[in-house]
Amino acid sequence: MSFPKFSSFIPSHLLGTIVRAGTIVLHNTFSWMADFTARRLSKLSIGLKGIVKPLKYSSTVFAIAGGILLAANMPTSRFGFILLALSSGQLLLASWAGGDRTTALYAAALFTCVDCLGIYRWLLQ
């Protein structure tokens, strides 16, 4: 069974207009969604501006404690990954709230993946 081509029952100048209109509708829809998401996230980050500095200091303390615990190479050292994951989460939140998207991406991609792998490898297996 073959389907008829659009050009067989819709004139080409109308087909071009329909495609352009559909493209404009899709563009406007995605543009609206992106604007809505950006407005919601900016409201969230404005509300979190006051806790950026405490989160960064707390993240530093958790990272140092987790690193020391791992370096000690004791039976309880495996729990250092939990502290490092908490540090990464705090750094991610503080970076996002402070508008530092590069550090937020770094914390999300590198630290969180490594910490989750460590938690899986040393605590869940």
* pLDDT at residue 69 is higher than 70: yes
**92-108 residue pLDDT tens:** 888 888 888 888 888 88
pLDDT value of position 123:
84
Q: What's the rounded mean pLDDT across residues 2-19?
A: 55
Percent of the chain with pLDDT over 90: 14
The confidence score (pLDDT) of residue 57 equals 92
Entry pTM: 0.59
Overall average pLDDT of the 6-11 stretch: 55
- Domain boundaries, given as residue ranges, for the chain: 6-45, 48-124
Q: Which three-class secondary structure string do you get for the chain?
A: CCCCCHHHHCCHHHHHHHHHHHHHHHHHHHHHHHHHHHHHHHHHHHHCHHHHHHHHHHHHHHHHHHHHHHHHCCHHHHHHHHHHHHHHHHHHHHHHHHCCHHHHHHHHHHHHHHHHHHHHHHHHC
